[in-house]
Amino acid sequence: MTDIGIGIVGGGYMGKAHAVAMAAVGAVFETRLRPQLEMVCATSAESAERYRSAYGFRRATSDWRELVSDPAVGAVIIASPQDTHRDIALAAIAIGKPVLCEKPMGVSLEEALEMTEAAEAAGVVNMVGYNYIRTPATQFARKLIADGEIGDIVWYRGEHTEDFLADPEKPSNWRTRDWASGNMGDLAPHPVNAALALAGSIEAVNGFWQTVIKERPGRDGPEAVTNDDQSQMMIRFANGAMGHIFSSRISHGRKMGYAYEITGTKGAIRFDQEDQNSIWLYRARGPEAERGFVKILAGPAHPDFLPFCQGAGHGTGYQDQIIIEAKDFLSAIESGKAVWPKFRDGLEVLKVTAACTKSHETGSWQAVSDN
């Protein structure tokens, strides 16, 4: 076993999730690389010290440059706001340090492209933080599709729906101001990433986004909402399949509505993250009277489940997805080869959302390759 110092920029919600994952992954997966929580960075010295003490880091700083350049930090995790991603990633890449960057990559397609090209030119291990796709059930769904169990995909429906901003009286905050923090920057990338992973490359998009709640209570009175609440896309896959993606932060009753339905020439698959430890599988074979969707509970026979639990149906949770992600990041560092989803894969997600924005502006289909 070899120790590797981990530096995390950002100590909030995702910073904590990554710190917990790195503290646990060595024991859960018995990794050869054993992470050490070396340094955490926050916007103030006080916040950084609070995170250091709470999460078990050795040191703290309020300057991300100090963290990136520190010789004891062997890999960098970026869990800070999107407008900081580019500069931190480029600095780490320039000195050859592996980078795990939370989605979305930067505030624009241009920033994501710059980060991708820099990482590829330097040959530095890189990964984007799409963790929902890593549940054992969805990993199993990917395997079923790759093995041809449902035949050729002909139709795909994906969604990511939540209701954390469904109440119009909820005050204005950072989520209602910056474009990268709106639905198109925050939620939509997740179902797009799922569609690319499960059904393949997306060729064209006809999309539309909408701000439903146009103003919210602010400190000094009503404040305008300057980003979107929901979006929908008709999509055409490169393999000819049809599809639809919907995402929303105002869907009453939905807490983690990351879901998909996939129809193939030999069967179908359904999944909903609110029941993340099961998938529904339909195989179009056998007597018609005996056909139907079968619920399959995630268990030790499915990818990345056994290290957490020996009992089928006992389940994994959100934090476990981050631990699986940490294992994959460490595997990439150990092998020197980037593991999906790389920066290039994150860039493809943003090309699709950029095509949706252009479609919204023009009212027409947009080729993803034009972005």
The conformation of residue 171, written as its DSSP 8-state character, comes to P
Asked if residue 233 lies in contact with residue 156, where contact means CB atoms within 8 angstroms, the answer is: no
Q: How far apart are CA 189 and CA 199, in angstroms?
A: 15
Q: 133-320+348-362 — its CATH code?
A: 3.30.360.10
Look at residue 25 in the predicted model and tell me its pLDDT: 98
Cα 262 off chain centre by: 20
DSSP assignments along 254-270, one per residue:
-SSEEEEEEEESSEEEE
Rounded to two decimals, what is the model's pTM? 0.95
Look at residue 106 in the predicted model and tell me its pLDDT: 85
The span from the first CA to the last CA of the chain, in angstroms, equals 44
Instruction: Residue 128: name the closest of 181, 174, 79, 94 by CA.
Output: 79
The conformation of residue 293, written as its DSSP 8-state character, comes to -
Instruction: Residue 119: name the closest of 132, 136, 105, 104 by CA.
Output: 105
Where do the CATH 3.30.360.10 domains begin and end in the chain?
133-320+348-362
Q: Judge: domain 2-130, CATH 3.40.50.980.
A: no
Q: Torsion angle of alpha carbons 93, 94, 97, 98, nearest 10°?
A: 10
Residue type at 235?
Answer: I
Average pLDDT for runs of 10 along the chain of length 371: 96 96 98 98 97 98 98 98 94 98 91 97 96 97 98 98 98 89 94 98 97 95 96 97 98 97 98 97 94 97 97 95 98 93 96 96 95 80
Write the CA distances from 227 to 161, 218, 231, 249, integer angstroms.
Answer: 16, 15, 11, 11
Residue type at 259?
Answer: A
Look at residue 178 in the predicted model and tell me its pLDDT: 84
**Packing angle, helices 189-199 and 136-146, rounded to 10:** 40
User: CB under 8 Å to 133, separation ≥6 — which residues?
Assistant: 139, 193, 194, 197, 341
Where do the CATH 3.40.50.720 domains begin and end in the chain?
2-130
Buried b (16+ CB within 10 A) or exposed e, 207-241: bebebebeebeeeeeebebebbbbbbbbbbbeeeb
Sequence-ordered strand ranges (E) for the chain: 2-9, 33-41, 59-61, 75-78, 99-102, 126-129, 153-161, 202-210, 215-218, 221-224, 230-237, 242-248, 257-264, 267-272, 278-283, 294-297, 366-367
Q: Which residues pair with 158 in a beta bridge?
A: 245, 260
Asked if residue 166 lies in contact with residue 251, where contact means CB atoms within 8 angstroms, the answer is: yes
Q: How far apart are CA 356 and CA 350, in angstroms?
A: 10
Asked if residue 19 lies in contact with residue 42, where contact means CB atoms within 8 angstroms, the answer is: no
Q: How far apart are CA 360 and CA 8, in angstroms?
A: 36
Q: How far apart are CA 248 and CA 293, in angstroms?
A: 27
Write the CA distances from 76 to 15, 90, 338, integer angstroms.
Answer: 12, 11, 14
In 3-state terms, the chain is what percent helix, strand and coil (to 5)? 40, 25, 35
CA angle 187, 52, 131 (to 5 degrees): 25
Look at residue 242 in the predicted model and tell me its pLDDT: 97
